[in-house]
A and B are shown apart, each in its own frame.
Chain A
Amino acid sequence: MFKMLADGTWDTLYMVLISTLLGYLIGLPLGTLLTVTDADGIRPNKVLYKILDIIINITRSIPFLILLILIMPFTKAIVGKSYGTTATIVPLTVAAAPLIARMVESSLKEVDKGVIEAAFSMGAGYFTIIWKVLVTEARTSLLVGVTIALGTILGYSAMAGVIGGGGLGDIAIRYGYYRYETGIMIVTVAVLVILMQILQWVGMLLSRQIDKRRKS
């Protein structure tokens, strides 16, 4: 049983970390694009903003459990099968990307307009402003966002257990729900709780460390 839980924990971490990473590969540029093209952004573009806005809203309003099933053909096309940990990464990433885009957007929008203007007044171009000002100055908030994203995706990954997604959620459903082995279910949930706590703790610790605005 210990082996099973250890494997489950590993599977969960594998799914969550890879999906979050892939989610950021899509969500970070997407969120940046949202910030830049918004009406008060550095390069407003109504049409582009609206299109991205709608796509993100649509993806975000589909309940994850439905999304899991809905994109099964897509998952199968990419991974070759629709169950198991690697396959679960696909719907997790699809669910994570728009969420991450929104969080990146709200983080970047926190950056003081005056500071951005100062950068412009020094002749900085869009690329410099995005990387050296927006992303650098929002890093604390961005890291808090990573923590939230990891937590949310951890929750989603457990849900994927319903369709044989692998990981701790899968174990909790198979043993706790189908076989009435409440003990295993409780232990599994406890491991999930601990994982979440660690994620949150490490995330907050790091974000405090890189926050240069805080009074020491």
Chain B
Amino acid sequence: MSENKKEEIIKVNHITKRYDDNSVLEDFSLSVYEGEVVVIVGPSGCGKSTILRIMNGLEPIQKGEVTYRGEKVDGKLGSITRIREKVGMVFQSYELFPHKTILQNVMLAPVLVQKRDKKEVKEEALQLLARVGLAEKKDSYPRQLSGGQKQRVAIVRALCMHPEVLLFDEVTAALDPEMVREVLEVILSLAKEGKTMVIVTHEMAFAEAIADRVIFLDAGQIEEEGTAEEFFRHPKSERAKQFLNSFTYEKK
């Protein structure tokens, strides 16, 4: 995974994001390269999710720009839509369409947005569902599935668009502990295939296992950046040490 000079896919360039008067990100830049798994960690409210949302054009920004393979994404829907087809996003609370079956959920965008052949999409959707162990759920509705199953469907829904980048926004945060694994296994298997991903997570063990590069974010700034090994084993900044310590407990 370490050929040098890999192509830059998404770049957020000197962006500033404010909600009303609160600045979330100030002059923030980050590039994501082909085949790379970038994991963003950091305390709540540090702007992690906002970065993903900006990469997918879901958040207006006040300054700076987002480029996709060098092409600037402007505010017009046409331009954003083209990029969004190539950037798959998976959300914390699944966001499956409750009135559509699992298969319909997966097929909607490839058929309606990408105008692909229905039969071919269906075939692929079924294959992908089988891959995450949910083939027999194709005619179920989201409410009939567990949280972990719903999240796997959401991943399949994103995959079926053939995205070049996948964004995962705290995808296990709403799950019961025993369901976290089944979802993370799917993401790990995608990483092994060399998919480009940006992951926001609170699962540190998972982050360490999957990340090519870890970004530690605090108050809208990159506080520390490095390989998984560097960041988790030898954190440099005090803030990162403090953050990582909050995940371990000692018996008093």
Contacts of B108 in A (CB 8 A): 119, 122, 132
* B89 adjacent to A137 (CB under 8 Å): no
* B99 adjacent to A121 (CB under 8 Å): no
* A215 adjacent to B95 (CB under 8 Å): no
* B85 adjacent to A137 (CB under 8 Å): no
Tell whether A63 is near chain B: CB-to-CB under 8 Å: no
Contacts of A124 in B (CB 8 A): 81, 109, 112-113
Count of B residues near A, CB < 8 Å? 29
Q: Which of B77, B87, B95, B114 meets A114, CB within 8 Å?
A: B95
Known: A120-B84, A122-B109, A124-B109. A136 touches B97 (CB 8 A): yes
Give residues of chain B (58-117) contacting chain A, Cβ–Cβ below 8 Å.
58, 77, 81-85, 87-89, 91, 93, 95-100, 108-109, 112-114
In angstroms, Cα B100 to Cα A125, docked, is 19
Contacts of B158 in A (CB 8 A): 122
In angstroms, Cα B72 to Cα A147, docked, is 49
* B84 adjacent to A122 (CB under 8 Å): yes
Contacts of B83 in A (CB 8 A): 123
* B89 adjacent to A128 (CB under 8 Å): no
* A122 adjacent to B143 (CB under 8 Å): no
Tell whether A190 is near chain B: CB-to-CB under 8 Å: no
Q: Which of B77, B82, B85 meets A122, CB within 8 Å?
A: B85
* B95 adjacent to A122 (CB under 8 Å): no
* A115 adjacent to B109 (CB under 8 Å): no
Tell whether B141 is near chain A: CB-to-CB under 8 Å: yes
Nearest-CB residue, chain A, relative to B160: A122
In angstroms, Cα B76 to Cα A126, docked, is 12
Contacts of A213 in B (CB 8 A): 98-99, 141, 143
Tell whether A212 is near chain B: CB-to-CB under 8 Å: yes
Interface band, chain A: 20 to 34
Tell whether B56 is near chain A: CB-to-CB under 8 Å: yes
Give residues of chain B (206-237) contacting chain A, Cβ–Cβ below 8 Å.
none
Contacts of A119 in B (CB 8 A): 97, 108-109
Within the complex, the shortest CB–CB distance from B105 to chain A, in Å, comes to 10
* B93 adjacent to A121 (CB under 8 Å): no
Tell whether B12 is near chain A: CB-to-CB under 8 Å: no
Nearest-CB residue, chain A, relative to B167: A121
Which of A124, A137, A139 has the most chain B CB atoms inside 10 A of its CB?
A124
* A212 adjacent to B113 (CB under 8 Å): no
Contacts of B56 in A (CB 8 A): 121
* B84 adjacent to A137 (CB under 8 Å): no
Contacts of B87 in A (CB 8 A): 121
* A121 adjacent to B97 (CB under 8 Å): no
Q: Which of A117, A136, A140 meets B58, CB within 8 Å?
A: A117
In angstroms, Cα B181 to Cα A74, docked, is 67
Tell whether B161 is near chain A: CB-to-CB under 8 Å: yes
In angstroms, Cα B89 to Cα A125, docked, is 16
Contacts of A115 in B (CB 8 A): 95-98
Give residues of chain A (66-114) contacting chain B, Cβ–Cβ below 8 Å.
112, 114
Contacts of B91 in A (CB 8 A): 114, 117-118, 121
In angstroms, Cα B113 to Cα A81, docked, is 50
Which of A117, A118, A120, A128 has the most chain B CB atoms inside 10 A of its CB?
A118
18 A-B interface contacts by CB (under 8 A): A112-B95, A115-B95, A120-B84, A121-B89, A121-B91, A122-B84, A122-B88, A123-B82, A123-B109, A124-B81, A124-B112, A128-B112, A136-B99, A140-B99, A212-B100, A212-B141, A213-B143, A214-B143
Taking Cβ atoms with an 8 Å cutoff, the residues of A that contact B are 112, 114-115, 117-126, 128, 132-133, 136-137, 139-140, 210, 212-215
Taking Cβ atoms with an 8 Å cutoff, the residues of B that contact A are 56, 58, 77, 81-85, 87-89, 91, 93, 95-100, 108-109, 112-114, 141, 143, 157-158, 161
10 new A-B contacts at CB < 8 Å, known A114-B93, A210-B99: A118-B91, A120-B58, A121-B56, A121-B89, A122-B109, A122-B113, A126-B77, A137-B98, A212-B141, A213-B141
